[in-house]
Amino acid sequence: MRRKLVVANRKMNGSLASNKAFLEGLLAGTRDYQNADYAVCVPHPYLFQAEALLKGSAIAWGGQNMSRYESGAYTGSVSPGMLTEFSCEYVIIGHSERRQRGHDTDHSIGERFEVATKAGLKPILCIGETLDEYEDGITDVVTIRQLNAVINEIGVEGLAGGVVAYEPVWAIGTGKAASPAHAQNILSFLRGHIEMLNADIAKNIRILYGGSVNAGNAAELFSMPDIDGGLVGSASLNTADFVAICQAASNDYR
């Protein structure tokens, strides 16, 4: 059985003081809920603090993006090696906010996925359709294109080193989460696509749902057979809410 994974994407939020309160609250709030995995993806300047506070605990940490290059004249970028130096386990790749505003492309995301796994990181590959694409009924076409961009780069075997997160753009930050049935439908479709290429990888890879996951809807989303956890934005800015989401994932242990 796949263990659930709940990841906080704190985006460009936090401060040394508020991060400390959040991470300490998370450590305390998940102490008795160890049937799921948890991770916190923080802005790069806070990796040092995340490592200092979480080292030795069951909670992992990671970055929110990284360069596909190892070093060089890439002002403002962070390399995979820099993330591993701070013992990151995860890195978010291809978030829609970066696809739309940071000009990440399917191809460059595929390259990042490969570079991340080679560096020993577990990339969390974000895919998902926009509202227009959803309304046009082409969610399957868009998400498969985004997934195939990575599979073409590294082969289906390469996927095994990472995590996939289905995040419909229309559900991100809107308070309008996809219904559990819709999310389950798409995740099952994505897993089915992977299964055609490699049944073992399809069975074991974790596919998360992201987009307005909150303390009220997490348990129902996580009860769906193909939803292996959540990638959580806004609700990760409130310690009690995020802890409740983690507890829901742990309680769903089967």
Catalytic residue among 24, 157, 167, 193: 167
Q: Is residue 232 within the footprint of ligand 13P (CB under 6 A)?
A: yes
Compute the distance between CA of residue 183 and CA of residue 167 in angstroms, rounded to an integer: 9
| 240/249 Cα distance (integer angstroms) | 14
Distance of CA 33 to the CA centre of its chain: 20
Pick one of 187, 213, 218, 227: the residue that binds ligand 13P (CB under 6 A). Answer: 213
Cα–Cα distance measured from residue 145 to residue 139, given in angstroms and rounded to the nearest whole number? 10
175 three-class SS: coil
Least gap, CB of 208 to ligand 13P (angstroms): 9
Choose between 101 and 254: whose C-beta lies nearer to ligand 13P: 101
Q: 47 phi and psi, to 5 degrees?
A: -65, -40
Q: Does 192 bind ligand 13P (CB under 6 A)?
A: no
DSSP 215-227: TTTHHHHHTSTT-
Mark the segment that binds ligand 13P (CB under 6 A) among 98-106, 114-122, 143-151, 166-174.
166-174
In whole angstroms, how large is the CA radius of gyration of the chain?
17
Q: 156 or 172, CB closer to ligand 13P? A: 172
Cα 234 from Cα 245, distance rounded (Å): 12
Q: Say whether residue 173 binds ligand 13P (CB under 6 A).
A: yes
Pick the stretch among 80-88, 135-143, 165-173, 195-203 that binds ligand 13P (CB under 6 A). Answer: 165-173
Segment contacting ligand 13P (CB under 6 A): 106-114, 138-146, 188-196, 207-215?
207-215
- Asked if residue 28 lies in contact with residue 78, where contact means CB atoms within 8 angstroms, the answer is no
**H helix and E strand count, the chain:** 11, 8
Q: Which of 95, 97, 111, 114 is flagged as catalytic?
A: 95
Residues 62-121 that bind ligand 13P (CB under 6 A): 95
Q: How far is the CB of 164 from ligand 13P (least distance, A)?
A: 13
Per CB under 6 A, residues contacting ligand 13P are: 9, 95, 167, 172-173, 210-213, 231-235
Annotated catalytic residues are 95, 167
